[in-house]
Chain A
Amino acid sequence: EVQLVQSGPEVKKPGAPVKISCKVSGYTFTDSQLHWVQQAPGEGPEWMGLIDPEDGQIVYAEKFLGRVTITADTTTDTAYMEVIRLTFDDTAVYYCATSSGGSRGFFDYWGQGTLVTVSS
């Protein structure tokens, strides 16, 4: 059974960083790209970027370039997403997601989501 298990909720102050993990199981980590998706309260999902664990290729949405870092550890089958210089607008649920189609852009497996609250 494919599972993506994310780290727990976070409360951060403006300007702080946050790093979220996504541990996968039930498939070969290097067989599929791993994506990160942000969903602000009451809003639709927004794709942030992807990493290909096999070759380390990373693609970021321009909106998140420079403030978001996506990494993957193939020894632990875990992906990470770090956001620096948090603002109130970063309050959102962050999901990791993957595709059974390898590099295809449909997301049939999702983590449970990690709520990040930015509050002073």
Chain B
Amino acid sequence: DIQMTQSASSLSASVGDRVTITCQASRDIGDYFNWYQQKPGKAPKLLIRDASNLEAGVPSRFTGSGFGTDFTLTISSLQPEDIATYYCQQYGDVPFTFGQGTKLEIK
């Protein structure tokens, strides 16, 4: 199985900060990679597909980058509504696998 490792299990930042969340795949997955946002009691929400394609309706302050094994989600200016847990996910091979999550908190 491809292991997805998010570098931080939690992050604390202030409103307006630039925030970066990283995820590493255990082997090359090209751009078969997605980012999700999950708020308590809700299903995950797709933010970015195929490493860098922003989903319709997602604010432009979210950007995704990376290819192969190393990927990054950047929030250019953190807003209070961005408080959530963020998961990466690969679909380069079955079983599709998720990272363990990065919980984003306001400082």
Which residues of A line the B interface, CB within 8 A? 35, 43-47, 59, 61-63, 95, 97, 101, 104-108, 110-113
Contact = CB atoms under 8 A, between A and B. Distances in A.
A108 B43 contact: no
Contacts of A112: 43
Contacts of B1: 62
Instruction: Classify the interface of chain A: helix, strand, loop or mixed.
Output: loop
Q: How large is the interface on B (under 10, 10 to 19, 20 to 34, 35 or more residues)?
A: 20 to 34
Interface of B: 1, 32, 34, 36, 43-46, 49-50, 55, 87, 89-91, 94-101
Contacts of A104: 49, 91
B44 A107 contact: yes
A101 to B, nearest CB: 8
Contacts of A44: 87, 98-101
Contact of B43 (A62, A105, A110): A110
A108 B36 CA distance: 9
Q: Which of B32, B36, B43 has the most CB of A within 10 A?
A: B43
Given A45-B98, A46-B98, A47-B96, A108 B46 contact: yes
